Amino acid sequence: MRVFITGGTGAIGSYAVPALIAEGHEVTAMARSQDKAEVLRRQGATPVGVSLFDSAELAAQFANHDAVINLASSLPPPARFMLRSAWSECERIRTRGSATVVDAALHAGIGRLVQESVVMIYRDGGDRVLDEDCPVEHYPIAAGNHAAEASAARMVDSGAAAVVLRFGLFYGPGAAHSEQIMRWARRHVAFQAGRQQGYMSSIHLADAARAVVAALECPSGVYNIVDDHPVTREQHAQAIMAAVGCGAFVTAPGRLALLLGDRATSLTRSLRVSNARFRDGTGWKPRYPSVWEGYRSMAVTLAARGSASCQ
């Protein structure tokens, strides 16, 4: 297929572009700087400089493509994560940007859209396994995700295909927050936000990228992209400590994170999410069935780059 991708230079995009090319797709990717354009070229993609908010120019660039993959976003850095104001650019990208992508895709006659979203929009499910039919919640920082999903639905209303991928928490080399958590682990600090028996659903970037490729072939719909075995927060922290081979002397921020309410809810709510619909619909299967295997592999990769020992 001829595929146009936005966000191809981000954490998941850096895995998705090579994965698409390896499967024989022709990839055009949005590039916002010369440096990023060069990286894309080296991966075998064709970079183009175009704004996410310019519908006419986007439609011109989309022409002659079979599918558009929208992974653009601008999550705040961890230090500013708790500030509502830090989310405004991300919200603009997901709300206006995603709407502009759909306007342009419809104008250019694109047959298929793949749109990223997150599992953190499900209500806290406690121990219950959550599938795509479970209720979602409209808390403030999720507004952009809901808007992006609504834009994707417009493709289907117009007779095209649209696949929404609700990703679990990303981790792996290149996912900055998971590299930071691993650095803390080497200093004997275990990261756990919220109740230790609450569930987390994660996905290694390599498996998330393989899901993006599989989404080019699956029926329209909403799909959860998480690994096979969600773990409790306590087990998640243990998996990271085991991967780096260090003991945990301190756990942070723990239940204190609950005091932040809505602003930290994407990290603190209990999400035991099922990937059955996407697995059954596409044959996709995560290479890392749980964080136990995934963090072990990540630690090996980072160790090869020279940051291995406990401090």
Site residues (CB under 6 A) for ligand NAP? 6-7, 9-13, 30, 32, 36, 52, 71-75, 93, 116, 118, 167, 169-170
Question: Which residue number is nearest to ligand NAP in terms of Cβ?
Answer: 10
Residue 13's nearest CA partner among 116, 101, 88 is: 116
Pick between residue 17 and residue 241 the one whose CB is nearest to ligand NAP. 17
Phi/psi of residue 113, each to 5°? -120, 140
Backbone angles phi, psi at 11, to 5 degrees: -60, -55
**Beta bridge partners of residue 208, listed in sequence order:** none
Report the nearest approach of ligand NAP to the CB of residue 168 (Å). 6
Q: Which residue number, 74 or 297, has a Cβ lying nearer to ligand NAP? A: 74
Considering the complex, state which of residue 37 and residue 245 has its C-beta at the smaller distance from ligand NAP.
Answer: 37
Residue 90 or 243 having the CB closest to ligand NAP = 90
Which is nearer to ligand NAP, 138 or 159 (by Cβ)? Answer: 138
CB 100 → ligand NAP: shortest distance, Å?
A: 10
The distance of closest approach from Cβ of residue 122 to ligand NAP in the complex, given in angstroms and rounded to an integer, is: 12
Q: What is the 3-state secondary structure (H, E, C) of 217-257?
A: CCCCEEEEECCCCCEEHHHHHHHHHHHHCCCCCEEEEEHHH
| Nearest-approach distance from CB 85 to ligand NAP, in angstroms | 17
Residue 88, Ramachandran bin (φ over 0: left; ψ between -120 and 50: alpha; else beta):
alpha
Q: Yes or no: say if 29 and 8 are a contact pair by the CB < 8 Å rule.
A: yes
Nearer Cβ to ligand NAP (13/230): 13
Alpha helix (H) ranges present in 137-218?
143-157, 176-186, 205-214
CB 30 within 8 A of CB 50: yes
For the bound state, the minimum distance from the C-beta of residue 9 to ligand NAP, rounded and expressed in Å, comes to 3
What sign has the CA pseudo-torsion 276, 278, 283, 284?
negative
| Residue 108 near residue 155 (C-beta atoms within 8 A) | no
Q: Which is nearer to ligand NAP, 185 or 267 (CB)?
A: 267
Which is closer to ligand NAP, CB of 11 or CB of 215?
Answer: 11
CB of 295 to ligand NAP, least distance (A): 14
We find the least distance from the C-beta atom of residue 75 to ligand NAP, in angstroms, to be: 5
Q: Tell me how far, at minimum, the Cβ of 249 lies from ligand NAP, in Å.
A: 26
Shortest Å distance, C-beta 39 to ligand NAP? 9
Contact (CB, 8 A) for 121 and 136 = yes
Task: Cite the beta strand spans of the chain per DSSP E.
Answer: 2-6, 26-30, 46-48, 67-70, 112-118, 129-130, 161-167, 169-171, 189-193, 199-200, 202-204, 221-225, 231-232, 250-254, 272-273
By beta-carbon proximity to ligand NAP, the closer residue of 117 and 238 is 117
Compute CA distances 66 → 25, 54, 161, whole Å. 10, 20, 11
